[in-house]
Amino acid sequence: MKRKTVALLAITLAAVFLTGLPQLHAAGGIVGSKHDFKGTSWAQQQVCLPCHTPHKANTTVQPLWNHQMSAATYTTYTSPYLKETVGTPGASSLLCLSCHDGTVAVDSYGGRTGTVFIQSSDPANIGTDLSNDHPIAIKYGHKGPANCANCHWSGSPNKLKFYGGKVECATCHDPHNNGLGDKLLRISMVNSELCLYCHGK
């Protein structure tokens, strides 16, 4: 009786696990997202390789970076209403900009120079003039870590992330998650929820 129970439990758990896999992918992830490049002619049928590599990675940036970095100079956002100074894009933002500023080909990875660029007419190409985009490399310190239970200091993986206490591209965008649509947002824009997460405080 005991062996039958264990066998039945094992079969049930296996069935739940196997039938649950498609649901996990459907909920969000890089597979099927804008960053799933395996269907392109230049990505060698790989999802991760254009950005990451397990061997011979660029050790000046993380994590296990495989893509050519941009050497561009950026014009940053400015406004007389800002209470903080906007700096140059931080390391995490430079990873994004290595494709999205349009100066480096998306197939420039693994040590080779590519030829496929995000075209200037494509909304994914934000260029090197960031003066009309949400400021990045700007300190987020409206209340400080001791007073903001909902911010990155809470350790919640479902909320916004700050890098060295600053807003960077990956604060609002998760490059590995299409759960909230093709803009890869960390929080929904319904009812301006993403904006109000910081600006409604």
Q: How confident is the model at residue 142 (pLDDT cuts 50, 70, 90)?
A: low
- The DSSP result for 87-155, as a single string, is -S--HHHHHHHHHHTSSS-TT-BTT--------TTSTT---SB-TTS---SEE--SS-GGG-TTSGGG-
Please indicate, yes or no, if residue 2 is contained in any of the structural domains.
no
Burial classification of residue 70, based on how many CB atoms lie within 10 Å of its CB (0-12 exposed, 13-18 middle, 19 or more buried): buried
Please indicate, yes or no, if residue 16 is contained in any of the structural domains.
no
Using a cut of 0.85, tell me whether the model's pTM lies above it: no
pLDDT at position 3 is 55
Please indicate, yes or no, if residue 185 is contained in any of the structural domains.
yes
For residues 125 and 69, is the Cβ–Cβ distance under 8 A? no
Domain residue limits at 113: 28-201
Please indicate, yes or no, if residue 167 is contained in any of the structural domains.
yes
Q: Which residues contact 36 (CB under 8 A, 6 or more apart)?
A: 30, 47
- Residue 83 C-beta-side C-alpha neighbours within 13 Å: 5
* pLDDT tens readout for residues 146-195: 444 445 444 444 478 888 888 999 999 999 887 777 788 888 889 998 88
Please indicate, yes or no, if residue 187 is contained in any of the structural domains.
yes
Please indicate, yes or no, if residue 1 is contained in any of the structural domains.
no
Burial classification of residue 81, based on how many CB atoms lie within 10 Å of its CB (0-12 exposed, 13-18 middle, 19 or more buried): exposed
How many domains does the structure of the chain reveal? 1
